[in-house]
């Protein structure tokens, strides 16, 4: 039943839009579309963004792995390599720190009226994505595949059953969140 | 409607939403490929169909897809949320920026533009952003995504500290 649903292209575009609307709503309500909140996270004075991300990860991973166990969902882990993930991740981080929004929260910020996100962030990111498409063939030949490790997941890496990873990991994240609350972060 | 929700409620809501994305659409939530596709569409507008021949656009065709619609939705959802709580307001310079660097729109605009360019390159270089790697990839326990999100924050914290503690 789900498979036929996944094949219905127009309906899928509508699902994408609907999921996006809820995502944007939740990001805005959580405070993550505000520059002050995001930059506070990067200056380590406001832990809102990490709290949102970690709560999403705990709930998300339990459900997604549960539905996968029932054969109702498939994983789509992204492939990785040192050359792409680490170097790209650090470049992203520098941009993130300069701009004070990430791509999703930047779009949400535009929705709440932030003009720096619209005319600075969005325009800049489109230029950046264009530059990347230009340099991609060169990077692909040189850096991107250095230290390639593929689409592996932590349970595969540790050679453990996924629940043996998910449960302790979820407990550790909840302990960390509890500690944030206790220490007033 | 309350203007701010607990970050835990918002985060758990996003976690539940990721279930819906996997079940209904067989897709993880992400935001940054939509920017590549849009950039490709703009380039195609000026340079014609041969843009589609670029190797990167063979991987990510410059067209509207599920994730592109999701990004449009994020804009609408944040707008609705801000409108409902009376927070929608045109703003050039965020308060925290103004506190440290003054409220000249031009300065903030130039910096935001530069940040956007660097972030756009980095997101495509790393194959994802704070949504695709940071939430969707980490919840799948992907090694690439945990590594990416650590690098996002290492780079982000170092840069923000540099700008706010050193440059100012």
Tell me what pLDDT residue B148 has.
98
Among A166, A138, A141, smallest CA distance to A66 is for A166
Q: What is the pLDDT of residues B85-98, one digit of tens each?
A: 999 999 999 999 99
| Partner-chain contact A35 B94, CB within 8 Å | yes
Is 80 exceeded by the pLDDT of residue A1? no
Q: What is the pLDDT of residues A134-161, one digit of tens each?
A: 999 999 999 999 999 999 999 999 999 9
Contact yes or no for A26/B79 (Cβ under 8 A):
no
Tell me what pLDDT residue B3 has.
81
**How many Å lie between the alpha carbon of A174 and the closest alpha carbon of chain B?**
11
Q: What is the pLDDT of residues B98-113, one digit of tens each?
A: 999 999 999 999 999 9
Tell me what pLDDT residue B168 has.
79
Tell me what pLDDT residue B27 has.
97
Q: Coil, strand, or helix at residue A142?
A: helix
Contact yes or no for B165/A102 (Cβ under 8 A):
no
Please classify residue B90 by burial: count the beta carbons closer than 10 Å to its beta carbon, then call 0-12 exposed, 13-18 middle and 19+ buried. Answer: exposed
Q: What is the mean pLDDT of residues B40-52?
A: 94
Number of Cβ pairs < 8 A linking chain A and chain B: 543
Tell me what pLDDT residue B40 has.
97
**How many Å lie between the alpha carbon of A59 and the closest alpha carbon of chain B?**
5
Q: Coil, strand, or helix at residue B168?
A: coil
DSSP 8-state secondary structure symbol assigned to residue A184: T
Q: What is the mean pLDDT of residues A10-27?
A: 98
**How many Å lie between the alpha carbon of B18 and the closest alpha carbon of chain A?**
6
For residue A183, how many C-alpha atoms fall within 13 Å in the half-sphere facing its CB?
10
Q: What is the mean pLDDT of residues A53-58?
A: 98
Tell me what pLDDT residue A185 has.
86
| Partner-chain contact A107 B31, CB within 8 Å | yes
**For B46-85, b where at least 16 C-beta lie within 10 A, e where not — what string?**
eeeeebeebebbeebebeebbbbbbbbbbbbbbbbbbeee
Q: Structure pTM?
A: 0.97
CA-nearest residue to B155 within chain A is A93
Residues of A in contact with B76 (CB under 8 A): 17, 20-21, 24, 111
- Give the helix/strand (H/E) hosting B37: helix B33-47
Q: What is the mean pLDDT of residues A54-78?
A: 97
| Partner-chain contact B124 A133, CB within 8 Å | yes
Residue in the structure block whose two tokens are 């339990």: A62
Is 80 exceeded by the pLDDT of residue B1? no
Q: What is the DSSP string of A63-124?
A: HHHHHHHTTS----PPPEEIIIIIHHHHHHHHHHHHHS--HHHHHHHHHTTBHIIIIIIIHH
Q: Decide if B52 touches A, using CB distance below 8 A.
A: no
What's the angle, vertex CA B122, arms to CA B27 and CA A140, rounded to 5? 85
């Amino acid at each position: 039943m789900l498979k036929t649903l996944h094949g219905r292209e127009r309906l899928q575009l509508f699902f994408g839009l609907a999921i996006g609307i809820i995502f944007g709503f939740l990001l805005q309500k959580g405070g993550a579309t505000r520059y002050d909140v995001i930059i506070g996270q990067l200056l380590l004075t406001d832990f809102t963004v990490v709290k949102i991300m970690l709560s999403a990860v705990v709930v998300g991973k339990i459900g997604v792995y549960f539905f996968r166990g029932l054969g109702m969902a498939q994983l789509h882990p992204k492939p990785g390599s040192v050359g792409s993930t680490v170097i790209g991740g650090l470049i992203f981080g520098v941009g993130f720190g300069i701009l004070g929004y990430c791509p999703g929260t930047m779009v949400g910020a535009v929705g709440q009226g932030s003009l720096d996100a619209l005319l600075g962030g969005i325009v800049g990111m489109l230029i950046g994505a264009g530059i990347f498409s230009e340099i991609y063939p060169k990077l692909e030949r040189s850096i991107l595949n250095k230290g390639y490790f593929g689409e592996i997941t932590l349970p595969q890496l540790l050679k453990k059953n996924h629940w043996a990873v998910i449960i302790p990991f979820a407990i550790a994240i909840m302990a960390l969140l509890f500690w944030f609350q206790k220490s007033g972060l | 409607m309350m203007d701010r929700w607990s970050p835990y409620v918002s985060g758990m809501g996003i976690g539940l939403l990721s279930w819906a994305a996997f079940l209904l659409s067989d897709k993880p939530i992400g935001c940054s490929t939509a920017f590549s596709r849009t950039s490709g569409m703009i380039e195609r507008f000026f340079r014609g169909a041969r843009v589609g021949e670029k190797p990167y656009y063979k991987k990510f065709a410059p067209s509207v897809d599920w994730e592109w619609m999701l990004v449009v939705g994020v804009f609408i959802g944040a707008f609705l949320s801000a409108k409902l709580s009376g927070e929608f307001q045109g703003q050039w310079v965020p308060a925290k920026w103004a506190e440290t660097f003054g409220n000249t729109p031009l300065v903030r605009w130039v910096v935001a533009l530069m940040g956007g360019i660097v972030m756009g390159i980095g997101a495509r270089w790393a194959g994802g952003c704070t949504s695709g790697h940071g939430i969707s990839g980490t919840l799948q326990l992907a090694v690439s995504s945990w590594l990416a999100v650590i690098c996002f924050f290492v780079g982000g914290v170092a840069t923000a500290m540099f700008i706010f503690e050193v440059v100012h």
